[in-house]
Amino acid sequence: MKGKYIEYGGTLAIVCAVAMFGVAGAYVMAKDRIAMGEREMFFGAIREVLGVESGEPEGLIEGASRDDQVYMAEIDGEMRYAAQGLQNGFSGPVVLAVGARMVDGELKIIECRVIRQTETPGLGTRIADKETNLTLWSSIGNALGGDTKEETDWFFLKQYRGKGIGNLLVTGDATEADSKIVKITGVTVTTNSATLAVKKALQKISETLPKK
């Protein structure tokens, strides 16, 4: 009987060891896939704000980490720069990629993209939403044979285009949209966080470029 217990114990130990290694292996594989996904999401956003279709843009800071790097690309003879900005939001970090170029000696934003955020669904998450030009009636018209072409744009992020560091101020007054960032109604914290993240990215680019 004692031998049977030893045999059962040995079998159980083997089963536990196999299960443990299986779980560990699955964890490592899942971790690697997540890391690859995060990397592609990051560089996808950097490419978009630079206007680059593929590849990994060149970095300006030797030895800098992916998140701290300033990237550059030459498009039609124009130098463009991109960096990540991070600021804590309402529910967690709000991380954006910001692309910029020099216009009359000042850095101006080309595009912004949200890399990561965990804000409140339907509220803070709207910073990453797109909007369409189609109304209910034009959609019905298209269903009946109309030909209104759908065009989409970024609901909130489009405000940053063409603005410099001095314009990165949040306002609740829509009439100031040309010179400031108009907050999303009921989303003050996230709007402020996104704008601060954009400002940090622009400052990082500015501090990295050689001074003339």
- Conformation bin of residue 164: beta by default, left when phi > 0, alpha when psi is -120 to 50: beta
Does 142 or 194 have the greater pLDDT score?
A: 194
Is residue 111 predicted with pLDDT exceeding 60?
yes
Does the model's pTM come out above 0.95? Answer: no
Give the total residue count for the chain.
212
**pLDDT at 147 (0 to 100):** 66
To the nearest whole percent, how much of the chain has pLDDT over 70? 74
- SS3 (DSSP) at 141: helix
| Residue 187 DSSP symbol | -
Q: Is 117 helix (H, G, I), strand (E, B) or coil?
A: coil
